[in-house]
Chain A
Amino acid sequence: MRGYYSWDDCHLEDSLSVEFRYTQVYREYTGTSLPLRELKCLEVALPAAAAPIQEGDLLVGRRVFRPLGVAPSYWNDDWNGLDNVSFYADFGRLERVMNRPSQTEERRAAIAELIAFWEKENVNGKVRAKFDETMRREMPSDLWSSESGVIFGLYRLVFSQLDYDKLVRLGLPGLKKETKTRMDDASLSEDQRAFLAALSSLVDLLLSILARYESDLQALLRDGADPAWLRPILDSLSRLQSGPPQTFRDALQLVWFYSAMAGGRDFGRMDVYLGDLYTQGLAQGSLSEEDAIALLLSFYRLMLDSDSRDGRIVMGGMGRRNPENADRVSLAIMKAGMRFRELKPEFSLRVYKGLSKEVMDLALSMLEDGMTYPLLFNDEASVCAVQNTMHVSPGEAEQYGFFGCGEYVLGHRSIGTPNDIINLAKALEVTLHQGTDPIRNCPHGLDLGAPEDFDTFEKLMDAYQKQVEYFTEIAARHQRLVYDTVRENGVMLMMSLLMDDCVARAKPLVSGGVRYLAGTYETYGNTTVADSLTAIREVVYEKKLLSLRELVNILDADFEGHESLRRRLLGCPKFGNDDPVADEMARRVNTHVFQTTARQAQVQGLSSYLVVMINNGANVDLGRFTLATADGRHAGTYLSNGNNPMAGMDHSGLPAMLRSVASTRMDLTAGTAQNLKLSRTLFTKHPDAVEDLIRTAFDLGILSLNISVMDRGEMEDAMIHPELHQNLFVRVGGFSARFVNLDPGTQADMLSRALY
């Protein structure tokens, strides 16, 4: 993982003068109104976060994150890897500055005092301070990547998609006018008026930062900088201070600037909000595709330099007001991406009948190029799923967006970033150990009986499900607690300004402002659990090869001395092979957790509360703290992730794998990630087959496809880890073989041949 705070802290001076000023303002305005306090803090924090232009930048707004601030999420990557919500404090960086040899004792003591203050005041800490006894017992730590447990809390509002279309249509002056007009309403309460006044002042603050950039650039010009580089930027900054964007460049500049200041990471339907000005520029001859690509490349560079996570750009899909213009700019967006060749931005394409062939073809070329982007979304099925799970109209569902690893939100209408992680395999583990975490050797979860008590499979299943319900309820309470604590401490001005219906209701984001206050959490090891339960049912309850107690003991010993049993377990039906027994179990395990979760929405007063089954490295980290499982997986090995089969367990071909995953009720989740590894040859020689494959996967109801194209490394890895590559077929001249069934010499031969 590349940390985006991995730069040195050179922009932090020994005195930490900004941080002290910020803290002083925070103290001074505590006890006034929350909007005012937050505004005053931003007035210190944002100008200090706006870094100077660098050579080659075509847009201003380089963002530095300081160790204190207000953000939808600050990722404390170099200290503990955790997200911090609202008023955050990065103690690792503060301590680094405090411990510099150049520090005076006096300053060191002052920084220590600063740290002590924020240890009490940071919102993450405040959430934890409000934990009840159960939460303290079950969530003793947030360190999900380095400690053992079923559940871990996350703290974030980020990944919500702001209304950049509105920003581009109105510009900053237009947003200010809107808030001013709203304040004319005589029926507003004092609190509402204070909130709107803060929003209005926030726009002034942003305009003042643009003005500062303008004067900085003029100074650079006077110092001899290239006018051909700076003049267009200066003209744009001037226009943006007096009205809405007039050009493609203006729009891109404004969106980047706002996003950087907000600490946002997702860019929503970029094709929609850039499409009209792009097309207008082309028609007027004031912009060429090359000009647009150069600007987009600068945009991507700023994104990459400021943050290593996300950067989702959405294109395509139903519900666009300008589909032709949007498709046109999509081509430039993707072409710039192909030149940029980095893991960001995360391009995503909503594939639907109305999408232009040119856009789809370019998306496939991008995938063929080995970029693994764009992530393809099945638009029709996604709209239906969002409509059903989030209880919204078809029109609103059409405005779904997604972030991170493919989780749905309603673009600028809902927030619902996952705020908890649940390791389902660990939930089964503690169930089999009478409510004890055998790794930490302490009580964890419910004691629902000893293995001997589960004399039928259904009793075991029932206990596992109760355990999951218990942890789900805790997760939902934690989600609510995060929102409540954020509400009690701030108003999230930068988000509130561009989220429906905060201005219309004159209410802050999580205080009744956002139209849909939703929630989600991430589950891992779903397939590991399903395959384990299938195996347990077969070997313990049907074939009676051993008792459940004996099996648990063998799992605790990581199969040592019981390799034949492990092989027997590996031979039990596995999800991903279109096997009705395995798939039915997966459906049962998944549908249970999906429905259990959805029921918590009403309990916690959320518009929806849903599971996401996503793709990231958490399945590896959580697996490190999960003992051996009855699917034959060794202790410490990664768990299954997303809605995918356990790696290497799908050995019946791609159609069978896709049929299995399609049998999961994905329409009950807020997003499921589906990986698909295809060969480069398939793309280059059989583009028709690729198209048929994607269409069929979508016809089956699969919500999204994350396609990666195999290369030399894939086959090299298959030679070292054949168990992970059961589905790697090699094809030469009408011959097909499972790569892993070939002898090493032939594999090496294939490897060299495939490169030609």
Chain B
Amino acid sequence: MNGIIGDIISMSVNDGPGIRTSVYLKGCPLRCAWCHNPEMQRPHPQAMVLPSRCTHCGSCQNCPSGARGKAGVYDSSRCTGCGLCASVCPSEACRVIGTSMSAGDVLRRVLPDKPFFRRRGGVTISGGEPLFQADFVLELAGLLSENGIGVMLETCGCAPWEAIEPLLPLIDCFLYDWKITDPEVHRKWTGTDNRLIRENLKTLHGCGANIVLRCPVIPGVNDTPSHFEGIARLLRDLPDIRRVDLLPYHALGNDKRTQLGLARDGFHSPSEETVLSWHRQLSVLCPVPVFL
């Protein structure tokens, strides 16, 4: 079967140990207000337009779905990802995110990177939410494992347990997002509550999976003592989680939002001092090391 791949990036070092190749899958059940990969939310291919390169030449006005209008206006909700705009754009302002690839295609793209993985590295499947394409992830992870490549999965955990369970023998480590402790606040900022996410995390922990808890901290959303205490409580309940990654909000998603024709997310990057303060608070509360 084929998956819709948003991007494949070699030499990734922030998504797990060693040198990794990150495979980004499109589609996500959440709509986090601060999402830094908004182009990965929708499951199908879509165009992105770099405003600084667009000369408003009008070459892309003949968009069959009407997503590209005059004067460079872009309505991404109408984009079908056909790629016509990218093919005619003389200044390379348009590009299409999302390619249909089989697991074998991805493997062929990844295999040449294998010598760089050595003992530590491997592939990190990310997104979007990779479990949005759970069958594809299962096939891909299986194929990678068969080829001696370690696999990590970066997930928000919002998927049926049935999608996660078969992956257990194939995934070296789950990079598991924990965004907001309170279910209703979670719903407010991501579009869904966190009950399934919490359940899956507990079950995953119960199965003995290797888990790194990844906690985005967004000013004005979850930079609260109650959420930090919630993280610590969760870790005390799930003692086999050995590490927390603190992911402070950054504004890079806004750049992509602009390229998708969306409004900015309205958040502001925290100062270095604030980030260090979060790190100190969490480090005091949590029973495991917190990495920044």
Contact = CB atoms under 8 A, between A and B. Distances in A.
B9 A734 contact: no
Interface string B6-25: 00011111110111011000
B130 to A, nearest CB: 14
A369 B228 CA distance: 36
B18 A731 contact: no
Interface string B104-123: 00000000110111101100
Given A655-B116, A692-B19, A686 B269 contact: no
A741 B112 contact: no
A696 B154 contact: no
B103 to A, nearest CB: 20
Contacts, number: 101
B116 A742 contact: no
Contacts of B118: 692, 695-696
A683 to B, nearest CB: 11
B272 A742 contact: no
Interface string A712-751: 0000000000000000010111111100011111100110
Contacts of A749: 251-252, 269
Interface in B210-227: 214, 216
B240 interface: no
A696 B14 contact: no
Contact of B50 (A699, A741, A753): A741
A686 B15 CA distance: 11
B155 interface: no
Interface in A279-307: none
A653 interface: yes
Given A696-B116, A732-B250, A733-B247, A689 B13 contact: yes
A743 B51 contact: yes
Nearest to B92: A567
Given A743-B51, A743-B52, A743-B255, A733 B19 contact: no
A653 B251 contact: no
Given A743-B52, A744-B52, A654 B252 contact: no
A691 to B, nearest CB: 9
B138 to A, nearest CB: 23
Most buried by B among A564, A655, A696, A734: A734
A741 B287 CA distance: 40
A653 B17 contact: no
A696 B269 CA distance: 37
B120 A692 contact: yes
Interface secondary structure of B, over-half rule: mixed
Contact of B14 (A654, A733, A745): A733
A734 B13 CA distance: 9
Contacts of B76: none
A480 B245 CA distance: 64
A420 interface: no
B64 to A, nearest CB: 24
Nearest to B217: A733
A741 B259 CA distance: 10
Contacts of A686: 13
A736 B121 contact: no
A107 to B, nearest CB: 66
Most buried by B among A695, A742, A750: A742
A653 B12 CA distance: 10
B57 to A, nearest CB: 13
A736 B255 contact: no
Most buried by A among B37, B113, B248, B252: B252
Given A656-B10, A696-B116, A742 B252 contact: yes
Interface secondary structure of A, over-half rule: helix
A645 to B, nearest CB: 15
A230 interface: no
Contacts of B9: 653, 729, 736
Contacts of A732: 250, 252
A655 B14 contact: no
A746 B255 contact: yes
Contacts of A741: 50
Contact of A746 (B11, B15, B216, B251): B251
A756 interface: yes
Interface in B1-50: 9-15, 17-19, 21-22, 36-37, 50
Nearest to A656: B10
B225 to A, nearest CB: 22
A693 B14 contact: no
Nearest to B48: A741
A564 B59 CA distance: 14
Contacts of B51: 743
Given A578-B112, A734-B214, A735-B250, A688 B10 contact: no
A269 interface: no
Contacts of B12: 731, 736
Interface of A: 564, 567, 578, 652-656, 659, 682, 685-686, 688-689, 692-693, 695-696, 699-700, 729, 731-737, 741-746, 749-750, 753, 756
Interface of B: 9-15, 17-19, 21-22, 36-37, 50-52, 90, 112-113, 115-118, 120-121, 126, 154, 214, 216, 245, 247-248, 250-252, 254-255, 258-259, 269, 272
Given A655-B113, A696-B115, A749-B252, 16 more contacts: A567-B90, A655-B10, A655-B112, A656-B10, A656-B112, A689-B13, A689-B18, A689-B121, A733-B248, A734-B15, A736-B12, A736-B14, A741-B50, A742-B255, A744-B52, A746-B252
13 contacts: A652-B10, A655-B113, A688-B18, A688-B120, A689-B13, A689-B120, A699-B115, A732-B252, A734-B154, A735-B36, A743-B255, A746-B255, A750-B252
